[in-house]
Each structure stands twice: as structure tokens, then as C-alpha cells.
Amino acid sequence: MSIEPEIAPLTAADIESVAALARMIWHAHYPGIISSAQIEYMLAQRYDPAVIRAELRQADVWWFVLRRDGEIVAYMAVQKEGAAALKIDKLYVRPDMQRRGCGGCLIAQAETLARREHEGDCRLSQTRFCGARGSGQGYRRRIRDGRLLDGQNAEREMSPNMFENPDAEARCALLKKIKTIAVVGLSPNASRPSYGVSKAMQEFGFRVIPVHPASKEILGEKVYPALKDIPEKIDLVDVFRSAEFIDGVVDECLALGLKAIWIQEGIVNEPAALRAQAGGMTVVMDRCIYRDYRDQCQAGR
């Protein structure tokens, strides 16, 4: 007879079990979205037992496991995001246990943690959707009117795993946080959208680093042939390449450990965007970075 799910903080004794569960879920869900080599790379980066142990020692990261009948069937990692919010960084449920309330239980635990940490402020980040994955289903959670849905309603929001952009507030927060933008596909032709958008972002005060294989200088900045050749810190990669080239850009971003990518308006490559998200990147796709900053960030000042 099944008993009620039990949620508890992850302990050192269960780290190996969580790493094994992550390996099973990722290899069940991600083939076809990312390569086997990329899956192994991401497992090593995010789920190596040594990585999990290091996170458990951090004061601003919390790991939880959910057990049914004594067996770990789901896990979640939550971390601080700014001064007044938490972010669910990982949330995965074993395939055969999906649609049984596991994800909703863990999200309720995250809400309790947020209330405790922020004295009643239970905001959770909307920049990520929580993946209760493993059978082609994405666990999509939204915050409505500043509050989390309850676990029962959360479970009803199971839907196919599709990419969705961060909301306007999250996009604006990203743009206010960054300083340096590497623009892949920045054309030296002043009539091209990449040139006009990049020039406008310069005028807003951002440092723009052009990435182009055949130019030496654009907009007064030295041009680099590839992201890997840029010798300084990159806060955001802005991409003006057609959809078939986005996979290669994402590969390079993941290899370099970059944290954010903005794929310009009219360019859509959902598998690449999902792969970047799975790699821990913040992803915005099919939006104009200039218009978002002008209309949403500047207007709010």
C-alpha cells in the first residue's frame, strides 16, 4: 500500500542516489533535444556527487528529495535569486511517478522555504520552468498574481515540454544586470538590423563586442571571429544568425560556461533554446533586445 510522499532535505547519504536518478531521467528525456555527449557533460557539471556536496555546503542553496514508500522518486534544488526571491534551479520527477502530485509537493516545499527566508514574501523566480521530466512532459509552473499556485493546480499544468521566454519583468532584470554584450553576426553594413540594434545598445551604455569572421572593426570595437576568442567576460550573447546556426552558437556558449543568450526577433530554434536552458542558461528567443530595453527597462526608470 502506497504511503504519503515524504519530503526531506538531501543528506550526504543520499547524494549518490540522487545522482543516479538524475542520470536515469536525463537519458530518458533529453535524447533528441541534446546529444548523448552533451547529456554526459551536463550530468558531470550539475550532478557529479562532488558538485552536489559542494552545493550542500552553500548557505544560499537548498536541496530536497521526495520519497514514496521509502524510495527517492523526485528531487529539487532551490537557490537565492537576488535579495528577495528564490529560484527553483532543478525539479525532476522519475517518469513513472509523474502526474501523481510529486512536483506539486516539492513546489509547496519551495513556497514554504521562500516564506521562511523572506518573512512572508513567497516569490519564486519565473525565469525558469521546473522540469518534472522523463516522459516527454515538462512540468510548467507559473506564478499568478505574485503567488504560487497550490500543488493540486500546479499538477494540472502538466503540458508538452516547450520553450517559453522569461516574462517582461525577468527580461528587464536581465538587461539591467548585464554590462557586456557579445553580438554574434554583427554586420559592418549600417543598413542591417544587427548594426542598428547594436549601435542603439551602445548608446544605452552597454559594451558591445562584435563577433564576425571577416571584419576587423565594427562600431569602433575590435571584432573577434568567435566567442572563444574574446579575452574578457561576456555577460550576454546576442545572436543575429539564421535558425540553422543557433545550434552551433549554443554549443559554443555551453562549452564556455556562458550564462545568458538572446536570440533576436524572427529567429526560432526551439531545440537549441531548450538545450541552452538545460545547460543552465537564461534564454530569450524571437525578441528584439533593443525594443525590450527601450520599452520595458527605460520606460520603468
Q: What are the per-10-residue average pLDDT scores of the chain (301 residues)?
A: 74 96 88 77 92 94 92 91 76 83 82 73 41 31 36 33 81 94 95 92 96 94 96 96 92 95 91 88 93 80 49
Helix (H), strand (E) at residue 20 = helix 15-29
Residues 14 and 32 in one domain: yes
Q: Shortest CA distance to 163 belongs to which of 72, 59, 269, 90?
A: 269
Of 140, 160, 180, the position where a domain reaches its end is: 160
CA pair distance 22, 75, nearest whole angstrom: 9
Residues 182 and 139 in one domain: no
Q: Tell me the three cell numbers of residue 141.
A: 509552473
**Domain with 189 in it:** 168-298
Q: Assess if residue 1 is contained within a domain.
A: no
Q: How many domains does the chain have?
A: 2
Residues 155 and 187 in one domain: no
Of 108, 134, 160, the position where a domain reaches its end is: 160
- What are φ and ψ of residue 241, in 5° steps? -130, 155
Residues 235 and 294 in one domain: yes
Q: Assess if residue 215 is contained within a domain.
A: yes
pLDDT of residue 86: 78
Q: Are 5 and 67 in contact (CB under 8 A)?
A: yes
Residues 86 and 187 in one domain: no
- Structure confidence by residue, pLDDT tens digits, 200-224: 999 999 999 999 998 999 999 999 9
Q: Is the pTM of this model over 0.95?
A: no
